[in-house]
Structure 1
Amino acid sequence: MVDILIAEDEPAILESLNFILGRCGWSVDSVHDGDAAIEAVRRLRPGMLLLDIMLPKRSGLDVLKAIRSDAFLKHVPVLILTARGQQYDRQIAAELKADGFVTKPYANNDVIQEVRRLLGSPAQG
């Protein structure tokens, strides 16, 4: 099982997230667009989804809506990660029952703390 599925289309951010979360001991997989995010959550059943709002093909908010309306997926914790820190995005994400919200640019430690809050500490080894 994958601990964290990252849905992010910006290569540098994706590489950074893969590195910092993998270094902490979590297993990580990634996708680059909203359609792939929904398919991967269904297929991989990750411990959580780290979800960018601005994604190609389908927005992160549409992905969150689809996950929350699926009986088999609605329990998956979703941490929203976005450059769009407007109150509107936070409000919509909260209404769709996002489990957390981190705004870019972010401190690595902020992301790690939110992942720990949602997943607990990784099993090392």
Structure 2
Amino acid sequence: MAGGSKPRVLIVEDEDNIAIALDYLMSREGYEHDRIASGAGALERIRDTRPDLVLLDVMLPEVSGYEICQEVRADRGLAGVKILLMTARGSAMERRKGLALGADGFIAKPFELKELREEVHRLLEAGATP
């Protein structure tokens, strides 16, 4: 987000209805954003675009959000990328697993847009440099 540019958000979500809602919210908040619908190309897209935040579904086709999170955290060049895991399986155990793998936040589906917006703001502000 250097130089006052808009934060960049990558949405990794395979369910179109959820992706449309996330797209709407990111547009309304003024973020630059993009979407990929499967886990297979997500890591490459993250490396290519270096988003400030990844909204990452846990249950994706081909590669899970947990695996993507782990790969991002293993790549020192992606250290500044924030990850918000989203899952319909929002148990405490799932939350602990996601955070242990390096996620910066965790939100259970279905979520309120207000709750998601607050979490996105928190993560982006935490990554901002004064």
- Normalised by the length of structure 1, the TM-score is 0.91
- Post-superposition shift, 1:2? 6.2
The AA in structure 1 aligned to 2:78 is L
Runs of 4 or more above 3 Å deviation: none
1:54-102 deviations in whole A, cap 9, x for unaligned?
0001000000000000111133100011111022211111111211111
- State whether structure 2 residue 103 is matched by structure 1 residue 114: no
Task: Please show how residues 76-87 of structure 1 align to structure 2 within 5 Å.
Answer: 76-87=81-92
Q: List gaps (5 residues or longer) in structure 1.
A: 121-125
Counterparts of 2:7 and 2:51, CA distance in 1? 5
Larger RCO (CA within 8 A; separation ≥ 6): 1
Which ranges in structure 2 are unaligned for 5 or more consecutive residues?
A: 1-5, 126-130
Corresponding residue of 1:56? 61
Quick one: percent identity of the two aligned structures?
38
Q: How many matched pairs?
A: 120
- Which of 100, 104, 110 aligns to 1:95? It is 100
Once the two structures are TM-superposed, the CA of residue 103 in structure 1 deviates from its matched residue by 0.5
Contact 1:47–1:77 (8 Å) recurs in 2: yes
d(CA) in 2 for partners of 1:15, 1:5:
13
What do residues 20-49 of structure 1 show as CA deviations (whole Å, max 9, x unaligned)? 111111111010111211011000000110
